[in-house]
Amino acid sequence: MLSFLVRYSLPFMFFFALVGFFFPRVSAWVFPYLPYVLFSLMTLTLLSIKQSELMRRLSRLSVWLYALLHSLFFMVLVLGLSYFLPMSDDLLLAMLAIAATGSLFATPAIVRALGFDHIQAMAMTITTTLLLPINLSLALLIKPIAEVGLDWETYLIRLVVFIFGPMAFSYLVHRLVPVVILNRVLLTVSPYTILLVFAFPLGLVGSFREMFDANMLHAMGYFLIALIICLVFFVTAFLLYRKQGVEIALSAAITSGNRNVLLTYSVAGVLLGPAFLPLAGALQIPTYLLPVITRWLHKSLLS
């Protein structure tokens, strides 16, 4: 059964987003456990990557330039759109926070499932995650929150726990555990890390379902915004990297489209305002449809 889920993991991600929407009680039950799943996924993903090769990729300027595109470029784009399109301060803050968000830590596993360079995807994911504290702070300062100040102490503690914690743990394990033993364990565990990804669409989409039950038209507006955000991020990255080849372009596109909104929420929480979780929930449906679309695009472009 596990091997079947791993083999068809890409469509199953989208399937679990639909399960979370149609069964909101299940989604609500899973949601409180998502931070633990996130920490586990980040740690296992980092452990499964060859450290020397990863550091070599992280030293490339191109990876950091991608990280700026992934976050600051889209933040400026969202901010620019806010001057022409009517939107509430809460919605603008939510959109800025999503633009500031790093790539999902499941992205390397998704990219590997597609047959692309997962180490490059890991390097891009790490750089966008490392820039998250700066980008998120800018988003919170650009649109000050009415009666809530930024609790820097809590913010920094959460950054250490959810971003630097898995990185430090992975580094120590690679230094202390013999390579033969570590590789044997990872060889058994790594193929199944993608199963942890199913919890994210399942648990996050429930907040969107709550909005849908309260006001269907309002929720459909949020879904349309989420769809546009996902599409713009994906298409922009693909077009900018198209000259470097189909696989590189699609890797950049899916890395840009996948947003680790749970990490952002775990770090900043209520500071992101009431619009963030419903918009993040709506984003799960197009986000987890992207791997399926990417596989189809890859076959179409190659043929």
| Cα separation values, 61 from 56, 130, 268, Å | 11, 15, 29
Side-chain half-sphere exposure of 288, counting CA atoms within 13 A:
30
Cα separation, 179 vs 164, in Å, equals: 23
CA dihedral over 153, 75, 271, 288, signed as positive or negative: negative
What integer is the mean pLDDT of 103-132?
86
| pTM strictly above 0.85 | yes
Answer yes or no: are the C-beta atoms of 201 and 15 closer than 8 Å. no
The residue ranking higher by pLDDT, 103 or 133, is: 103
Q: What is the mean pLDDT of residues 110-137?
A: 86
- Given this model, what pLDDT does residue 146 score? 40
Decide yes or no: CATH 1.10.3720.10 for domain 9-302: no
Q: What is the average pLDDT across 274-284?
A: 94
Q: Which of 108, 51, 115 is closest to 295 using CA atoms? A: 115
pLDDT more than 90, % of the chain: 41
Q: Is the pLDDT of residue 148 over 70?
A: no
Q: Which residues contact 204 (CB under 8 A, 6 or more apart)?
A: 20, 27, 31, 34, 261, 262, 277, 280, 281, 284
* pLDDT, tens digit (0-9, with 9 covering 90-100), for 52-75: 788 888 889 999 999 999 999 999
